[in-house]
Amino acid sequence: MARLTRLDDVLFPVEEHPVFVSIKNPGGERLLPVLDKKAIVNATIGRVLGIVSRGYRLVTNREALSMAYQCCRTAFPATKDSEWSVSATDAPSTGGHCCIDLVHNSTALDFTDVSAGERPNAFGPFIRVTNSYNTLRALAFDIGFYRKVCKNGLILPDSVIRFKFTHSRSNIGETVRFQIAHDRLVKLNADFCEYLGVLRACKVARHDLERVVRAALRLKPPHSSKPEGVEANEWFRLTEYISGMATNYVAELGENAYAGFNIITDFASQPPDNRCVHRDRHSLQRLAGLWTTTFVKECRNDMFNLTKYLEQLEKPNMDEKSRAATLVSG
Does position 59 have pLDDT exceeding 60, yes or no? Answer: yes
Q: Where are the domains of the chain?
A: 7-53, 61-180, 202-329
Q: Pick from 88, 67, 35: which is nearest to 176 by CA?
A: 67
Residue 247: predicted pLDDT: 96
Q: CA 272 to CA 174: how far, in whole Å?
A: 39
Does position 113 have pLDDT exceeding 80, yes or no? Answer: no
Helix H or strand E segment including 18: strand 14-25
208 φ/ψ sector (left φ>0, alpha ψ -120 to 50, else beta): alpha
How many DSSP H helices and E strands does the chain contain? 9, 10
Q: Which of 163-177, 202-216, 285-299 has the lowest mean pLDDT?
A: 163-177
Q: Which of 123-132, 166-175, 206-215, 305-314 has the lowest mean pLDDT?
A: 166-175
Does position 270 have pLDDT exceeding 60, yes or no? Answer: yes
Q: Which residues does residue 281 pair with via DSSP β-bridges, in sequence order? A: none
- pLDDT-above-90 percentage for the chain: 57
pLDDT in tens, 31-53: 999 999 999 999 999 999 999 99
Q: Which residues contact 95 (CB under 8 A, 6 or more apart)?
A: 4, 9, 10, 12, 42, 47, 49, 133
Torsions phi, psi for 235 (to 5 deg): -65, -40
Helix H or strand E segment including 182: helix 182-201
The one-character DSSP state at 174 is: S
Does position 330 have pLDDT exceeding 50, yes or no? Answer: no
Residue 328: predicted pLDDT: 46
The one-character DSSP state at 136 is: S
